Amino acid sequence: MITGFLFRALDKKAIWVALALLAVALLVPLSNALLPVSHPLHVPTHIMALVGKYLCYAMLALALDLVWGYCGILSLGHGAFFALGGYAMGMYLMRQIGTRGVYGNPILPDFMVFLNWKELPWFWYGFDMFWFAMLMVLFVPGLLAFVFGWFAFRSRVNGVYLSIITQALTYALLLAFFRNEMGFGGNNGLTDFKDILGFSVQAQATRGALFAATAIGLALAFVICSGIVNSRYGKVLVSVRDAESRTRFIGYRVEHIKLFAFVVSAMIAGVAGALYVPQVGIINPGEFAPANSIEVVIWTAVGGRGTLVGPIIGAIAVNFGKSYFTAAFPEFWLFALGALFVATTLFLPKGIVGLVSSGFARLRTNREADRVEETLQPGTEAAE
């Protein structure tokens, strides 16, 4: 069965994408580490860090696409899963600081000493172990998604109502994490990381390794998603998106189908967050902001929802635009982003990928039309 899963997952397109990502994972850090700075193919460290960040975003967008593009659940709270994964990683990194903090306390992170706490809160136990932290990266977002989804899908909360309560969820978490009493560093979040697995997070080699891990993680997530959507289950998922009631009447347990996709998606988002934190060096409650989660939606929409390559392209393209705009014309970034939202929904319902593939389709039909010498109505394929 697993072979079958893999076989279907690795169809021709998916192999190419996964291979391309693996090549990026290998070549970028190598070029950064080995090529001299003057070499035209040398990738500077800051560019590598930036692209690494984009890849994390791409993974988050991919996770969202799995539920939105394939299952029709528009989650406006995916940033919450991302941030929770990030916090789990951040907690591990905090424990690794040890006595090198400002207060030099071997167990308590600085902010707890500052708050005059005497003991480590119970939910920080175990985070000094990497394997445990990684487990939590998957487990915490997954559990939240499971509990939330279990209630929401069972009560048949769907459409915009679901979107609004996912937004409320991330908003509530935002407020909660801002509180110092929560024990996650309050407003400042977790930062000043030193080591990951014994290697300094600042070192060039570690950065290269983190970049490679991110690219490989994205490739893995892509293969998993590809396997899911190409399986029988994936077909049902799409049918839930297109005709939920009908699917239910046929006899599928729609809520279970949705729940599975939601939990997997949340876990992927959590991993993305965990890879994000050591690369940017900080995690704070701002990541829970509802606006962040909505931005993820636009990455997915711009790239093309309902395709797996789309969100990756979208996340990278939009964030590249953001980096460029906020540096060159800081005033105009929000105009550009706002316009992007409007333009994408009005003119590009299938995103960049949809545009390209419909362009290809049109080309092909035109050629066929030439061959058969028959005129087709232009734009037939582009229409819904």
Partner 1 sequence: MPASPFPYDNPLDAPDRPMRLILLLSGLMALFMAVTGPVRADETELRAVIAKFAEAKKFSDTEAVIEEIVSLGDTAAVTALNELSEGRLMVRDSDGEVFIIKGGKDPLALLDPITLEQVGTAAESELSKIKIKNSIRRMIADAVSGLTLRAKDAHIRMEAAETIFSRPDPEIIETLDGVIAEEQDTGVRQAFIEARAAAVLSSDMSDDAKIDAIDILNARGGRDVLPILTTASTSDAAAVAEAAKTAIASVEERLMFWSAGQNIWYGISLGSVLLLAAIGLAITFGVMGVINMAHGEMVMLGAYTTFVVQEFIRNSAPGLFDYSLAIALPLAFLVSGAAGLVMERGIIRFLYGRPLETLLATWGVSLVLQQAVRTIFGPTNREVGNPSWMSGSFEIGELLITTNRLWIVVFSLVVFAILLLVLKRTRFGLQMRAVTQNRPMASSMGIATPWVDAFTFALGSGIAGIAGVALSQIDNVSPNLGQGYIIDSFMVVVFGGVGNLWGTLVGALTLGVANKFLEPYAGAVLAKIFILVFIILFIQKRPRGLFALKGRSVES
Spatial separation of the C-alpha atoms in residues 20 and 53, rounded to whole Å: 17
- Pick from 32, 96, 167, 230 the residue near partner 1 by CB under 8 A: 167
Contact 72, 236 (CB under 8 A): no
Binding flag, residue 246, partner 1 (CB under 8 A): no
Interacting span for partner 1 (CB under 8 A) from 26-34, 47-55, 150-158, 276-284: 150-158
**Which residues, listed in sequence order, are joined to residue 195 by a DSSP beta bridge?**
200
**Residue 155 interacting with partner 1 (CB under 8 A):** yes
C-beta of 322: minimal distance to partner 1 in Å?
12
Site for partner 1 in 324-383 (CB under 8 A): 331-332, 334-335, 337-342, 344-346, 349
56-85: contacts with partner 1 (CB under 8 A): 74
- The Cα 8–Cα 11 span in angstroms is 6
Q: Which of 107, 109, 66 is nearest to 87 (CA)?
A: 109
Q: Is 159 in the site for partner 1 (CB under 8 A)?
A: yes
- Asked whether 70 and 229 are in contact (CB, 8 A), the reply is yes
DSSP letter (8 states) at residue 379: T
Per-residue interface string for the shown chain with partner 1, residues 281-320, x marking contact by CB under 8 A? ---------xx--x--xx--x-------------------
Q: According to the binding rule CB under 8 A, does residue 147 interact with partner 1?
A: no
Indicate the residue among 48 and 254 with the shorter CB distance to partner 1.
254
One-letter identity of residue 125: Y
132 part of the interface to partner 1, by CB under 8 A: no
Residue among 319, 384, 295, 306 at smallest CA distance from 351: 306
**Residue 32, number of CB atoms within 10 A of its CB:** 21
**Residue nearer to partner 1 on the CB measure, 218 or 261:** 261
Q: Which stretch binds partner 1 (CB under 8 A): 7-15, 160-168, 213-221, 354-362?
A: 160-168
Q: Is 161 in the site for partner 1 (CB under 8 A)?
A: yes
In the complex with partner 1, the residue whose CB is nearer, 257 or 294, is 294
Contact call for residue 143 and partner 1 (CB under 8 A): no
For residues 302 and 313, what is the distance between their CA atoms, to the nearest angstrom? 8
Nearest residue to 231 via CA among 269, 266, 264, 272: 264
The HSE-up count of residue 79 (CA atoms within 13 Å, CB side) is 27
Could you tell me if 76 and 290 are in contact, meaning their C-beta atoms sit under 8 angstroms apart? yes
Residues that bind partner 1 (CB under 8 A): 74, 148, 151-152, 154-157, 159-161, 163-165, 167-169, 171-172, 175-176, 178-179, 290-291, 294, 297-298, 301, 331-332, 334-335, 337-342, 344-346, 349
